Each structure stands twice: as structure tokens, then as C-alpha cells.
Chains A and B, each alone.
Chain A
């Protein structure tokens, strides 16, 4: 395979035909149970970039309906019971509706009217084109009734050009010229500060009225739902979203709404009427795609595998391959963790040199007054044949040290246990079992520490890892595979054809994709910068914890907090990070037994794990105090103040494991 099957990563880059051809449904209930365009209950489809919203909305739109029914849109509408009218909110270029010497109220009214016209134009154009395509009679009585009904929706007299015989066309042109006049006035207002617009219809009249008129007068649309598929909702300001919320609240058949928005784009549920608010479950439903994927993890993995297979099929020159074994396409390191640790150590260390972790231990013991015991203690932990066991023995020693136990005695006992472990046999005692379990628990992170000490990069490989990394946004997976494939091609390999993609290609691809994700997820404005800084701080902290002498948690990239005591700025930044998918909120947070406050669980997006040398597994979690949370998230906290907090936090994880006194915590805000 010479080309890269993952070059196209975004829904928008697919033509309608391509979407139809590559459509992969969600296993289990399928997407249709997530969103039904015929449902009278408006629904918000919300999520991060690359969750599949646009894909889904386009799938519901009428060009795809047509493709599903062999080019017969009329049949499609009647069979599927709805017509999907896709509408890009960005097309309104709604930043025009502000300032220019006009009041906010004026703009509110004008925006609403303008959008009504936009909706109307979209709908009437569609009807007109459908009639032409299906060769329906535009001169019939029903068309005339429809046109008249629409004309009556306006508060102003609607005048058609007399020479236009085709009523639908005339109506279409009327909408077009009305919009045009509005555009010219709105645009010119910037230069003239004059805005002379007559509002021709009140909010909702056209949006609901045109479909209603169609359903009543045109037999084609009898019983058909008009589903407006609003995408890129985040392009509307709060005030503009008030208008849409008003429509959603009004809810009149045969109109319904499916609104696609980025997480950060859903700014308000208030309507144009002061004090009025739409509520989830009663005025609208809301689906967060990632949550759906997350709640059915096995399905998500299958879904991802299907997407990838479909891509490979399309790209493959030799017809339909009967099966694609995705795991086999990616090379894996050979040998157990223990063997690899030993191999790396041998390769990286100069002959006769002491491994860095022993060097460090020696120094720590000497600096902490254990100088005389050091040689003996080192002997007890030394396992030259298996660096992984050696590290484990050292970890046990650190634990004993932190617990204030007799080091020489502990070291000797532990050595015995580790020797048994190494042999593969276990002792009878409870402590033996505990140690064996602890080793199983720790070995991956210990291996990671070895890699770091030797100056080797962390390892991320294999399809499963990549699915994990995607953080429940399929596009992330595609980008990952795209970068990996590119590296594989650059290295002269033959991805998806011969041998598996090398570890090097996987590593470099992961690195690039991770960096891409971080820069791309940045929000607009100062808060975007602040969020990135916070993420770097958080990631850096997790990293320091992971590579400390005695980490409190294993595989930790999640924090818990009850959010009490957060400064306003910190809360803003934390929420922005969530809204931009840099941090994922893990559902099923617990309520504290005594206080009843909710413990939130927040995971650093696994796409970012490689940037901070973190594990992809979501195992351990760290509870942070308000001070610590503020130090990380509040942009007002200086780097040095953060440093002091970090030192305090890490003190119990690093030799000599002394807890700093409260007074040395330092000032948070300087």
C-alpha cells in the first residue's frame, strides 16, 4: 500500500458520496438510537473535535438521503419520513451582528429576523429544487396555496415579480432578495453607522410557518418532518443562542432541530424571554458522543476497528481482503518486560558501570545519614540479572525508609522475597503474596522508570494503545494512524502490507499526534493560553509523580477534587480545559460519605499522555487539595509558587521522604 489510507481525517473533507460509501454505524444500537431526525424533541449533539457529530448530521442530510435511495430524493423523504436540512451556523457570519454603532437589542432583533429569512430561504430553495428534480407540477393549485400561505407569514406585504410564473421560484427569489437587502444594510452599517431595517416577521414565524405550510398544502410533504440540522453551533454568540433556544422551546411540528456543537459551544439555555430557561429532558435532549462511546467501551473499540478496516479496504489495490488483522500490522517489542529491561540496561550502560537508579540510591543514602549502611543496603537490592526486580527491591526499600523501619532488617527480608519472585516460586506467607501482587501492580511503571533513567523514550505501540489514546474521539485515532503511517513510509517500510509498522514509526507518529492535539485544542483568547499553561503544569506534575522514588499511585493521569475552595480563575480554566477536551470528566464520581459533596474525577486526555511520559492506562488517581488545584489552574499563580507546592506534594514520594512543615508551604499568590 503506497498511499496513506488515513490522509483524510475530517468529515468535512469527505464528499457526500464518500460519506455514504464509508459509513460505519455504531455497533450495538447504532447511531439511530442516539439521534432520530424524526423525533419532535430537539436534541443537542455535543462533543469534542472529531467525535463524529458532523459526520452524523451530514448522514441525516438530504443529499445523503438521496444517495441512500439510488438518487430518488422523493422516495427517500417519503420512506424515511423526514427531510434533513443541513445548516452551517458559521455561514451566517454572525460576528457581523454586533457594534457598528447599534445597540445590542437592535442586533438581537435583526439577527433573529435574518436567521428566519435564512431558514426560510434554505427550505424554500430545497422545495423548489425537489419539485424540479422530481418533475412535479409547479403550476398546480397546491403550489399556489403553499406560496400564498408563506407570503402570509410575513408582517409586510410580499410582492412577487409579475413575470415570474413559477410560484416556487418567485418565492425563492423573494427570500433571496430580502436576505440580500439585509446583508447590504448590515454590512454597510460598519461604515455608515446607519441601519435601516424593517423587521418583516417575528421570531419563529418563518422557521415553523414554512414547513407547516408545506405539510398542509403540498401532498409531497404530508406527514414529513422537517429536521433542521444545525452544525457548528459554537459560532453563535450567547445572544444569538437565545434566539435558537426560543425556537427550541416553541417546538412546533412538523419542525424539529438537531444541533451539533462543540462542548465549549453550548453557551446558554436561556431564551429571548428574560428569566426563561430550557431544561434538559423537558425542552431538549442532549447527547455527548464521547460519553456514549465511553459507556460502551467494547463497542467503541469495535467501532474504531471497523472505521479503520473500511479505510484500508478502500485504499487497498487488491480487492476485498477477507480479513484485516489490525493488531498484526503493528510491531511489538520482543520479550517480557523483564527481558527488555535487562536488554536496554545492557545496551545503555558502559561496561562495569552502576545503573543510574543504584547510583541515585547510594547518593540518597549517603546524604541522609545512612552512609555506613549504604554498601550493605545496596548489596541487598542488587539484582544485576534483572533490573526490573532490582528496581522493585529498591522500591520496597524506599517504602521501608518512608515508614521509618529498620532498613537493614527490611532489606534482608525483602531480598529473600524478591529472590523467590525471581525464581518464579512464591513463599507461603501473607507478605509473600502481598509482595507478589505488588510486583505485578508496579512492574509497568517500574519499567517506565528504567526507560527514563536510561534516556530512552516511553513506549506506546499497538492498536489497542492507539484506541485508548484517542480519548473517545475517533478522529484522534485517524490522526494517530495517519502520522504513524507517514513515518512508516518515510522509514522505507511497507505499512499494512508486509511486516508490521516499526516501533520507531509508531513512536514518532504518536509523538507528533500528541503535539498536534495539544496545540489544536487551544481555545480562543487569553483563557486558551491559560488553559495550556495549566495543562503543562498538570502533566508535569503527573510526570514528576510517576518518576518519583516512591509513587503514591500507579499509572496515574487522573485527579480527584471536590472543587471546593477553587478560585474563580482556577475554576474557569479547569472548565475551559474540559470544554476543549484537554481534560475528560470521568463519570461516576463519588459523593463524599460525610459531607455529601461530589468528588469529581478528571482525567488528562490520553492523547496528551505521551507529551508527559505518562501511562495510557487509567488506574491510579491523585486527590488534590484546593491549594494544589489553584496552583495548577489559576493563571495568577507564579511558577515559583507552584514549585513550592509541588515540592511539598512530592516530598513524601522522594527520598528522604520527609514531610515539609506547614509554614514552608509558601505564599500561593505573589
Chain B
């Protein structure tokens, strides 16, 4: 498996016009400049705004432009069920050029979307991510608003597990800035051996350091982590992320038996997509799951400006055949 064959590029905010055109463009609405600027700039046959209930927008706060889909469902499977039915996705030609702006989407939903399209036989999915000029509160933008209510498997990423033998269960956490989330996930699988992935190279040199310091607060929950327990992949590259997971887990399997595998991407959207890609290519149907800490509400992020847009091309026909 060589994920580096997959295409990615970065486009500066001044050159958004260079982005290719698509048939369908999906974006999860929030008020940030970056999400709106991209929505406006993108050339697409049809542009769709999807509204997550977790953001708790009132009717008045919603945009006037674009096709609006206000979803009530929080469960990611129900969310897409509803959207697919109302947008008639199953009837779209399988070579439709679809692009999703990952920026505003909840991570579980993003991952499931990738899977659903693959299951239906679509050949390509383009995913964007928009970087702001600055984060309001430094990099300490809060993630969830209010408490985490449960940690569970992401729909579509539930595995066929075996009665665990503690020494052989593995949990790989993609560590973001929110130590509470790391702690929740680590606690949920406290018996598993843990690996922690950090974004390096990070977008800016100091971000890696801040990430490490914040994640260190969850250290006790992670248990003893010898230096070998760290993985690194660029924060904004889903393909290198998938490759790193692939390489590392292969190494782990050579060294000792691996029973159950749990993955939890808690950092960037690119990392999330990377985890999902890796799972779908290599673990679907096996003793692996993606787990995630769910909250009822998410904070409407407060970032400033738009600096660049990352574009990733997922070739869905490359994956293993759909699950039985």
C-alpha cells in the first residue's frame, strides 16, 4: 500500500480561483470567514449547506445562499441517511465530481461520508480544508461546548473484535489540543496499549510543541508511554497519516501479537480523513474500530481570516471491496 500516490495540493487564499470545478460541493455551515469565503469562491454545479444540530444555530443565523439542509440528527449514520435521501445521492452518476469542505464537519460524520460514498460505488471524493489566518484564542480554541457524553464507535467503523487479551489490544490516538478528549478516549480503553500520534511537521513550528504540552495533561490516562509509543505525520496530510499508521502497525505486528485495534483521530480534519482512509483500506471487517468522544454541543469556532486551502483527492475505487 502506498498512500503517497494520492494527490494533494495547497492553494493560497489569493488563488482560490485556481481550484478545480465540481459538480456538487458540500459544506457544513458555521460563521467563520474561512468556511464562507471558500463556499463563495468554489465553482460547482450545486452547492449545499449542511447544518449540524450540534452548533445550535437559530433559523435567523442561517445563510440565505446555497441549498440549505438543516439536519436534526446527531447520530452520524442517521445524519447521512437523511441527507442522502433528501438529496437523492443514490441516484447520482458514480463519476460525479463531489467535493466536501471538511472544515466545519464533525469528525465522525466526515469519516462516515467517505465510507458511504465508497459503498455506493463513487469513484472519487475531493476534500478541502481551509486554514485560518489566526485562531481567536491562540491555538486553544475549545472544541466541544460542554461535556463529553459518551465514547463510542463511529458508525461504519465498528469492527469484529475478539475477547481481548490485554497485552494485545492497541489504541492509537491522534492527539489534538484538547486533553479532555484524549483522556476520555484513553479511559474508555484503559486496558489497551497506547500509541499517540502528533502532527509533525506542524503547520507552524511552535504548534507541535504546544500540542505536546497540552496532550501531556492527559498523560496519566495514557499510562506509561515509552518514547517508542509516539507516531508522527504531517498535520495536514491525510495520506502521509495513513502511511504512517500502516508502517507503524505493520512494525507492531512483527514485534508482538496484536489483538484488537482502536483508532481515535482527535486532531486535524486531515488527520481524521487519514485515519478513516487507513481503516477502510486495511481494517474494514477486521478486529478494529474507530472510537470517538461525543458531545452534545460543539463550539462555533472563532477563527480569523483565510490563509490557504488544502485539497485532497480520495480515489475510492482503490479501496478493498465493500463489506459483506
Q: Do A and B touch, yes or no (CB under 8 Å, in the complex)?
A: yes
Contact for A183 among B161, B163, B166, CB less than 8 A: B161
Question: How far apart are the CA atoms of A9 and B162 in the complex, in Å?
Answer: 27
Q: Of B131-139, B216-224, B267-275, which stretch is located at the interface?
A: B216-224
Contact for A180 among B153, B160, B217, CB less than 8 A: B160
Contact for A10 among B148, B155, B223, B260, CB less than 8 A: B223
Question: How far apart are the CA atoms of A187 and B285 in the complex, in Å?
Answer: 10
Question: Are B191 and A232 closer than 8 Å at their CB atoms?
Answer: yes
B305 within 8 A of A: no
Question: Are A91 and B163 closer than 8 Å at their CB atoms?
Answer: yes
Q: Of B52-60, B181-189, B240-248, B310-318, which stretch is located at the interface?
A: B181-189
B289 within 8 A of A: yes
A403 within 8 A of B: no
Question: Are B323 and A16 closer than 8 Å at their CB atoms?
Answer: no
Question: How far apart are the CA atoms of A193 and B84 in the complex, in Å?
Answer: 14
Kindly supply a per-residue 1/0 record for chain A positions 53-64, scoring 1 wherever the CB is within 8 Å of any chain B CB and 0 otherwise: 010001000000
B150 within 8 A of A: yes
Question: Are A93 and B161 closer than 8 Å at their CB atoms?
Answer: yes
Contact for B153 among A58, A96, A525, CB less than 8 A: A96
Question: Are A524 and B158 closer than 8 Å at their CB atoms?
Answer: no
Which A-chain residue is minimally distant from B289 (CB atoms)? A93
Known: A96-B158, A180-B160, A524-B147. A13 touches B223 (CB 8 A): yes
B8 within 8 A of A: no
B18 within 8 A of A: no
Question: Are A118 and B75 closer than 8 Å at their CB atoms?
Answer: no
Of residues A186, A519, A529, which shows the largest number of chain B Cβ atoms within 10 Å of its Cβ? A519
A191 within 8 A of B: yes
Question: How far apart are the CA atoms of A537 and B260 in the complex, in Å?
Answer: 42
Contact for A191 among B116, B146, B161, CB less than 8 A: B116
Which B-chain residue is minimally distant from A483 (CB atoms)? B220
Question: How far apart are the CA atoms of A179 and B260 in the complex, in Å?
Answer: 15
Question: Are A520 and B190 closer than 8 Å at their CB atoms?
Answer: no
- CB neighbours (8 Å) of B151 from chain A are 95, 524
- CB neighbours (8 Å) of B192 from chain A are 12
Which A-chain residue is minimally distant from B223 (CB atoms)? A13
Question: How far apart are the CA atoms of A15 and B163 in the complex, in Å?
Answer: 18
Question: How far apart are the CA atoms of A416 and B35 in the complex, in Å?
Answer: 78
Known: A88-B191, A184-B324, A191-B155. A524 touches B149 (CB 8 A): yes
Known: A524-B150, A528-B147. A12 touches B191 (CB 8 A): yes
Known: A184-B324, A479-B220. A15 touches B147 (CB 8 A): no
Of residues A15, A96, A121, which shows the largest number of chain B Cβ atoms within 10 Å of its Cβ? A96
Of residues B148, B161, B217, B323, which shows the largest number of chain A Cβ atoms within 10 Å of its Cβ? B161
Question: How far apart are the CA atoms of A54 and B190 in the complex, in Å?
Answer: 11
A217 within 8 A of B: no
Question: How far apart are the CA atoms of A528 and B77 in the complex, in Å?
Answer: 27
Question: Are B147 and A529 closer than 8 Å at their CB atoms?
Answer: yes
Known: A12-B190, A95-B152. A121 touches B163 (CB 8 A): yes
Question: Are A520 and B221 closer than 8 Å at their CB atoms?
Answer: yes
Question: Are A15 and B167 closer than 8 Å at their CB atoms?
Answer: yes
Contact for A190 among B158, B159, B189, CB less than 8 A: B158
B2 to chain A, nearest CB (A): 29
- CB neighbours (8 Å) of A187 from chain B are 158-160
A125 within 8 A of B: yes
A130 to chain B, nearest CB (A): 14
Which B-chain residue is minimally distant from A121 (CB atoms)? B163
Kindly supply a per-residue 1/0 record for chain A positions 232-248, scoring 1 wherever the CB is within 8 Å of any chain B CB and 0 otherwise: 10010000000000000
A516 within 8 A of B: yes
Question: How far apart are the CA atoms of A516 and B183 in the complex, in Å?
Answer: 11
A526 within 8 A of B: yes
Residues facing B in A85-109 (CB within 8 A) are 86-88, 90-91, 93, 95-96, 99-100
A122 within 8 A of B: yes
B156 within 8 A of A: yes
Of residues A10, A91, A100, A121, which shows the largest number of chain B Cβ atoms within 10 Å of its Cβ? A91
Question: Are B260 and A91 closer than 8 Å at their CB atoms?
Answer: yes
Known: A96-B158, A526-B146. A88 touches B77 (CB 8 A): no
A577 to chain B, nearest CB (A): 15
Question: Are B160 and A184 closer than 8 Å at their CB atoms?
Answer: yes
Kindly supply a per-residue 1/0 record for chain B positions 161-203, scoring 1 wherever the CB is within 8 Å of any chain A CB and 0 otherwise: 1111011010000000000100110001111100000000000
Question: Are B147 and A95 closer than 8 Å at their CB atoms?
Answer: no
- CB neighbours (8 Å) of B221 from chain A are 520
A7 within 8 A of B: yes
Question: Are A524 and B184 closer than 8 Å at their CB atoms?
Answer: yes
B159 to chain A, nearest CB (A): 7
- CB neighbours (8 Å) of B188 from chain A are 90, 235
Kindly supply a per-residue 1/0 record for chain B positions 293-323, scoring 1 wherever the CB is within 8 Å of any chain A CB and 0 otherwise: 0000000000000000000000000000001
Contact for B220 among A9, A15, A183, CB less than 8 A: A9
Contact for A93 among B81, B153, B183, CB less than 8 A: B153
A57 to chain B, nearest CB (A): 11
Which B-chain residue is minimally distant from A86 (CB atoms)? B166
Question: Are B166 and A524 closer than 8 Å at their CB atoms?
Answer: no
Known: A10-B190, A524-B150, A529-B147. A125 touches B163 (CB 8 A): yes
Kindly supply a per-residue 1/0 record for chain A positions 119-141, scoring 1 wherever the CB is within 8 Å of any chain B CB and 0 otherwise: 00110010000000000000000
- CB neighbours (8 Å) of A91 from chain B are 161-164, 169, 260
Question: How far apart are the CA atoms of A118 and B224 in the complex, in Å?
Answer: 30
Question: Are B75 and A99 closer than 8 Å at their CB atoms?
Answer: yes
Contact for B150 among A54, A95, A125, CB less than 8 A: A95
A344 to chain B, nearest CB (A): 32
Of residues A10, A16, A121, which shows the largest number of chain B Cβ atoms within 10 Å of its Cβ? A10
Question: How far apart are the CA atoms of A320 and B169 in the complex, in Å?
Answer: 35
A188 within 8 A of B: yes
Question: How far apart are the CA atoms of A90 and B164 in the complex, in Å?
Answer: 9
Contact for A520 among B183, B260, B324, CB less than 8 A: B183
Kindly supply a per-residue 1/0 record for chain A positions 386-430, scoring 1 wherever the CB is within 8 Å of any chain B CB and 0 otherwise: 000000000000000000000000000000000000000000000
Known: A12-B166, A188-B323, A524-B149. A183 touches B160 (CB 8 A): yes
- CB neighbours (8 Å) of B149 from chain A are 524-526
- CB neighbours (8 Å) of B160 from chain A are 179-180, 183-184, 187
Question: Are B260 and A100 closer than 8 Å at their CB atoms?
Answer: no
A52 to chain B, nearest CB (A): 15
Question: How far apart are the CA atoms of A7 and B184 in the complex, in Å?
Answer: 21
Known: A7-B224, A191-B116, A529-B146. A93 touches B166 (CB 8 A): no
- CB neighbours (8 Å) of B156 from chain A are 190-191
- CB neighbours (8 Å) of A54 from chain B are 191
Question: Are B77 and A191 closer than 8 Å at their CB atoms?
Answer: yes
- CB neighbours (8 Å) of A479 from chain B are 220
Question: How far apart are the CA atoms of A231 and B189 in the complex, in Å?
Answer: 12
Question: How far apart are the CA atoms of A602 and B137 in the complex, in Å?
Answer: 39
Question: How far apart are the CA atoms of A267 and B222 in the complex, in Å?
Answer: 26
Residues facing B in A472-493 (CB within 8 A) are 479
A563 to chain B, nearest CB (A): 26
Offer 13 A-B interface pairs, CB within 8 angstroms, sorted by A.
Answer: A10-B190, A90-B188, A91-B164, A93-B152, A179-B160, A184-B160, A187-B158, A187-B159, A232-B190, A519-B180, A524-B151, A525-B148, A526-B146
Further contacts, 19 of them, CB under 8 A, given A13-B224, A231-B191, A232-B190: A9-B224, A10-B190, A10-B224, A58-B166, A88-B191, A95-B153, A121-B163, A125-B163, A183-B159, A183-B160, A184-B285, A235-B188, A520-B183, A524-B147, A525-B147, A525-B149, A526-B147, A528-B147, A529-B147
Which 5 pairs show the lowest CB-CB distances between chains A and B? A95-B152, A190-B155, A187-B158, A183-B160, A13-B223
Binding site for A on B (CB under 8 A): 75, 77, 81, 116, 119, 146-153, 155-156, 158-164, 166-167, 169, 180, 183-184, 188-192, 217, 220-221, 223-224, 260, 285, 289, 323-324
